[in-house]
């Protein structure tokens, strides 16, 4: 046995040298051509950009006849609104409905290049008297999210259009009437928030009652079932989202950075852009690109 130890030691030494040499040997460097042609997995952002094109959602509220009319900052001169539509068309943008956006991401339906949606909030009478003629002139598509308790009311508030006027706009095929809550759009900004001391069950019941009341009124008066809910006062939370889903809304919207990126506002990849009296459409788009 003792005669074999030198041989075994020599073999072990040789094996050790071979292993060390193999571990320390570096692979040959890639040439510039090899480095440029080697495939790399696409980043998440590039997939998102490809699969979810940026879609602008231009949001308006109230309109006025000209610049000389005194009104709040969210009131847009109707001539500027018409100029907005003209500019967007000239720049190759294509107006689509919110339903088309839903169908694109849920069902694979095609969208045109550079799509954008238009939304009016609150349901002001000026939507009918001033904006509707322009909408018909340019064959635009608009979702109007109404406050149920204000429909047809003219006293002590900025006038709102009636159900009859809403029906006329819907019958044109250019307007859809959607939900902005029946009576949760409050001056105090509470929106769909939970009241202090209100139990969770009472809170859910209150939201459910409000959402469904306006949904029923919209269906009874204009014949369409709302699929879009615009959160009043920019307030949203998980409970409100849950109740919104239970009430049949497939699409909920709020101000930018309000809704979680896991919710549908991100799913449909809308970039909400608000128009004020002083807004320039080209500058507004630049801020979002």
More confident residue, 8 or 139: 139
Residue 110, both tokens: 């095609």
What is 101-117 written as a DSSP string?
Answer: HHHHHHH-----SSEEE
The answer to which of 13-27, 42-56, 79-93, 206-220 has the lowest mean pLDDT is 13-27
For residue 33 the two structure tokens come to 């051509």
Rounded to whole angstroms, the Cα distance separating 56 from 265 reads: 12
Neighbours of 227 (CB within 10 A): 18
What are the sequence ranges of the domains in the chain? 46-288
| pLDDT per position as a tens digit, 142-187 | 999 999 999 999 999 999 999 999 999 999 999 999 999 999 999 8
- Other Cβ atoms closer than 10 A to 209: 13
- pLDDT for 54 equals 84
Mean pLDDT of 33-56: 44
Summarize the confidence of residues 62-80 as an average pLDDT. Answer: 93
Pairwise CA distance, residues 186 & 189, whole Å: 5
Task: Give the Å distances, CA to CA, from 26 to 15, 71, 251.
Answer: 19, 74, 55
Q: pTM surpassing 0.85?
A: no
Give the range among 112-121, 146-155, 182-191, 267-276 with minimum mean pLDDT: 267-276
Per-residue pLDDT at 111 exceeds 50:
yes
| Contacts by residues 264-267 (CB-CB < 8 Å, ≥ 24 positions apart) | 267/105
Name the one residue in this structure whose structure tokens are 């495939």.
39
Q: What percent of the chain has pLDDT over 90?
A: 65
198-219 mean pLDDT: 98
CA 240 vs. chain centroid, Å, equals 17
Which range, of 77-86, 144-153, 244-253, averages the lowest pLDDT?
244-253
pLDDT of residue 51: 57
Mean pLDDT, the chain, rounded, equals: 83
Q: What is the mean pLDDT of residues 216-242?
A: 93
Whether residue 264 has pLDDT greater than 80: no
User: Which numeric CATH code is attached to 46-288?
Assistant: 3.20.20.370
Phi, psi of 52 (to 5 degrees): -125, 85
Query: Which secondary-structure segment (H or E) carries 264?
Result: helix 264-267
The stretch 53-65 carries a mean pLDDT of 93
Quote the pLDDT of residue 139. 98
Please count the other Cβ atoms lying within 10 Å of the Cβ belonging to residue 188. 7
- Check pLDDT > 80 for residue 260: no
pLDDT value for 261: 45
């Amino acid at each position: 046995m003792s005669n074999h130890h030198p041989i075994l030691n020599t073999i072990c030494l040789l094996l050790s040298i071979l292993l060390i040499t193999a571990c320390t040997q570096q692979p040959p460097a890639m040439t510039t051509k090899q480095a440029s042609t080697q495939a790399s997995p696409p980043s998440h952002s590039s997939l998102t950009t490809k699969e979810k094109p940026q879609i602008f959602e231009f949001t308006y509220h109230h309109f006025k006849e000209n610049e000389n009319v005194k009104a709040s900052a969210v009131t847009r001169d109707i001539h500027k609104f018409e100029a907005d539509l003209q500019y967007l068309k000239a720049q190759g943008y294509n107006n689509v409905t919110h339903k088309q956006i839903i169908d694109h991401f849920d069902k694979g339906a095609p969208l045109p290049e550079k799509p954008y949606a238009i939304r009016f909030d609150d349901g002001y009478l000026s939507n009918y008297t001033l904006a509707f003629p322009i909408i018909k002139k340019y064959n635009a598509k608009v979702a109007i999210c109404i406050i149920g308790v204000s429909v047809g009311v003219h006293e002590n508030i900025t006038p709102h259009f009636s159900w009859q006027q809403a029906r006329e706009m819907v019958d044109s095929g250019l307007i859809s009437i959607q939900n902005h809550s029946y009576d949760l759009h409050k001056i105090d900004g509470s929106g769909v928030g939970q009241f202090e001391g209100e139990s969770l069950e009472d809170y859910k019941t209150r939201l459910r009652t409000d959402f469904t009341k306006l949904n029923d009124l919209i269906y009874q008066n204009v014949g369409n079932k709302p699929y879009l809910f615009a959160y009043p006062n920019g307030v949203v939370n998980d409970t409100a989202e849950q109740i919104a889903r239970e009430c049949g809304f497939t699409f909920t919207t709020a101000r930018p950075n309000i809704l979680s990126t896991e919710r549908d506002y991100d799913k449909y990849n809308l970039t909400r852009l608000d128009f004020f009296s002083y807004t320039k459409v080209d500058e507004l788009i630049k801020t979002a690109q």
